[in-house]
Structure 1
Amino acid sequence: MSTQPGLVATDLRSSRVGPVTLHVRPGECLAITGPSGSGKSLLLRLLADLDPHTGRVTLDDTDAQSIPGHVWRERVAYFPAEPGWWSEQACDHVADTGAARTLLGSVGLSERMLSSKIHTLSTGERQRLALVRGLLHKPKVLLLDEPTSALDPDSTALVEQMLAGLKRDGTIFILVSHNAAQTRRFADRHFTLRDGRLEEGDAP
């Protein structure tokens, strides 16, 4: 059993991905690149325990299978490129609290957004609102799938600045991004996913 802090996957696999073994330490960002359809998003979903898999995933020696799924996903939060919504009202997803207002401001969103309907928001606004929604649970691991793909450069800079602060505080990141400049700025280690296997290499 691992005695090192961080996110550890051992022999993780599904029908399309794996086996994958990795260890990401607190305050570290691992970037994963690869062609479309190579399974990058699926790997993030496996780490978040959203899809069937074999193998073992632990966070600070807590096994994903030992706690309820929703508790695991609050600690190991998956942020897809296209977030899902269960209500048309933004406030049903993000309550109007001091913490929410602070996070909204840090990513360039107005507090007035909480009174909006989801369908009236731009793709970039929805992407940032979903990030705020997940961060309110104070996850220890962020699984980011193209987190700024719909953002302009100024908004991207705000999001990266906020995420960098979390990284300095020890949050673990796994970043999937086609933005080579972003992975060079943010990641400590770089992997490529090919044929379901991770290959470590230099920054793209």
Structure 2
Amino acid sequence: MNEMTRLAATAIPSLSLQGVGFAHRGQTLLHPVDLRLEGCRRILLMGPNGAGKSLLMRLAHGLLMPTQGQIRWDGRRPRQSMVFQRPVLLKRTALANLTYALAVNGVPRMRRKPLAREALERFGLAALEKRPARVLSGGEQQRLALARAWLTEPEMLFLDEPTSALDPAAIKAVEDAVLDFHARGTRILMSTHDLYQARRLADDVVFLCGGRVLEHSSATDFFTAPATPQAQAFIRGELVW
């Protein structure tokens, strides 16, 4: 990270979740969470299926409102983008998906196609610009969603299990993109249940189980000395409830 990028990253507002919980139809899906995310970090949400990772991410991003507690940004709300496990793409070409995103963000018409083509090139999709986005492979769709996010220059990027069901080559392409975002000064909040992926990418780990945040620590501490029996079992590959 160069000096300019480093200085920009330090200006990303911190995100605080204060007693944030979520219930639906009388069932508590996320128990109260106290969590603070700051700096230009790669933070991975980990835990078994149904642990509450996606729910916590949607709450942090603002797609859902908590049923208790508060979510606060220090000073201002930063530029944000989110990429889902199954990308939400328009019934348009790959190029048109990007030019539309630029239009929504107020980019002048004459600049849209050059910027969109630059992003397609960066993410290895230049040859597919005229192809309908919804007929692309799963890995190509994820790269297109990441290219769209790239164009918005997010200060914080939310990634909800973006490599689920992808082949190894597509996983590597997505992980390389995550590292590129981070090198540009973007804070990453990404959910995964893949231990190897977390070891490759994480600066910090937030571990959830049963709708509760049980640990928030550096990746080194989490993998070498997990503090809870649930995390220890998860790392061993044992079933965790």
**TM-score bin, normalised by smaller chain:** 0.7 to 0.9
Q: Could you say what the CA RMSD is over the residues aligned between the two structures, in angstroms? A: 2.4
Partner of 1:8: 16
Q: Which runs of 5+ in 1 are unaligned?
A: 64-71
Give runs of aligned pairs for residues 184-199 of structure 1, distance below 5 A. Answer: 184-199=199-214
Q: Secondary structure at the match of 2:81?
A: strand
Answering whether residue 175 of structure 2 is matched by residue 175 of structure 1, we say no
| Distance in 2 of aligned mates of 1:55 and 1:170 | 29
Partner of 1:87: 91
Number of paired residues? 191
Q: Which runs of 5+ in 2 are unaligned?
A: 1-10, 24-28, 100-111, 224-234, 236-241
Partner of 1:108: 124
Q: Secondary structure at the match of 1:97?
A: helix
Partner of 2:134: 119
Whether the 8 Å contact between 1:80 and 1:145 is mirrored in structure 2 is: yes
| Distance in 2 of aligned mates of 1:59 and 1:103 | 29
Partner of 1:152: 167
Cα-to-partner distance string for 1:107-166 (whole Å, 9 max, x where unaligned): 322x23221112321111111111111221111111111122244333333332332232
Whether the 8 Å contact between 1:106 and 1:158 is mirrored in structure 2 is: no
Report the CA distance between 1:4 and its aligned residue.
8.8
Give runs of aligned pairs for residues 3-152 of structure 1, distance below 5 A. Answer: 5-15=13-23, 16-53=29-66, 54-62=68-76, 75-95=79-99, 97-109=113-125, 111-152=126-167
More helix by share: 2
Indicate how the Cα distance of structure 1 residues 99 and 22 shifts in structure 2: closer, same or farther if over 3 A, else same.
Answer: farther
| Distance in 2 of aligned mates of 1:190 and 1:178 | 11
* Greater radius of gyration (CA): 2
Report the CA distance between 1:188 and its aligned residue.
1.1
| Distance in 1 of aligned mates of 2:187 and 2:45 | 14
Partner of 2:105: none
TM-score, structure 2 as length reference: 0.70
Indicate how the Cα distance of structure 1 residues 58 and 92 shifts in structure 2: closer, same or farther if over 3 A, else same.
Answer: farther
Return the letter of the residue paired with 1:131. L
Aligned-pair identity in percent equals: 33
Report the CA distance between 1:23 and its aligned residue.
1.8
Indicate how the Cα distance of structure 1 residues 32 and 158 shifts in structure 2: closer, same or farther if over 3 A, else same.
Answer: same
Q: Secondary structure at the match of 1:115?
A: coil
